[in-house]
Amino acid sequence: MFRVVIATVALSLSTLSSAWAYRVLDQIENAYELTLGVVTLPAGSSGSVIFTACETCRTTSLRVSAETTYFANGSQVSLADLRGLADRLRATAAGRERTAVYVFYDPRTLQVTRLALGSAG
């Protein structure tokens, strides 16, 4: 009888753990993965990233700000360096088609948080 009471108490206490708690996860960031050929990079720190996500999609424009960070092949770079690299890659068909542009943005404000260039695939 004593074992049954201990087992019942242990089972009751295990159901009270935080693993059963209801949690709401907010999506803090969303992203697009595009090829360089369909993206227009911002001209300055208060410009926009302009792209078409698919052939039948409308053109999308997302604003950048002074807080937006820029990356090339995993390393943080300035917007000017990112634009220079993108211009060199756009000069070739392979660069336009094989270079991925990752646009990370806040879904609530539609502000770009990070912009990255890397190899596609």
The answer to the question of residue 46 being in a domain is: yes
The answer to the question of residue 76 being in a domain is: yes
Task: Give Cβ neighbours of residue 3 (< 8 Å, ≥ 6 apart).
Answer: none
The answer to the question of residue 17 being in a domain is: no
**What pLDDT is attached to residue 26?**
76
Domain that holds residue 80: 29-119
**What pLDDT is attached to residue 67?**
95
Q: What is the pLDDT of residues 47-106, one digit of tens each?
A: 999 999 998 999 999 999 999 999 999 999 999 999 999 999 999 999 999 999 999 999
Strands (E) located in 9-111: 30-35, 39-40, 48-52, 59-63, 69-72, 75-77, 99-105
Percent of the chain with pLDDT over 90: 70
Decide if pLDDT at 121 tops 70: no
Burial string for 29-46 (b: 16+ CB within 10 Å, else e) reads eeebebebebbebbeeee
The answer to the question of residue 7 being in a domain is: no
The answer to the question of residue 22 being in a domain is: no
**What pLDDT is attached to residue 8?**
67
The answer to the question of residue 8 being in a domain is: no
The answer to the question of residue 86 being in a domain is: yes
The answer to the question of residue 11 being in a domain is: no
Number of domains in the chain: 1
**What pLDDT is attached to residue 27?**
76
**What pLDDT is attached to residue 64?**
97
Q: What is the pLDDT of residues 4-56, one digit of tens each?
A: 656 666 666 666 666 556 677 777 899 999 999 999 999 998 999 999 999 89
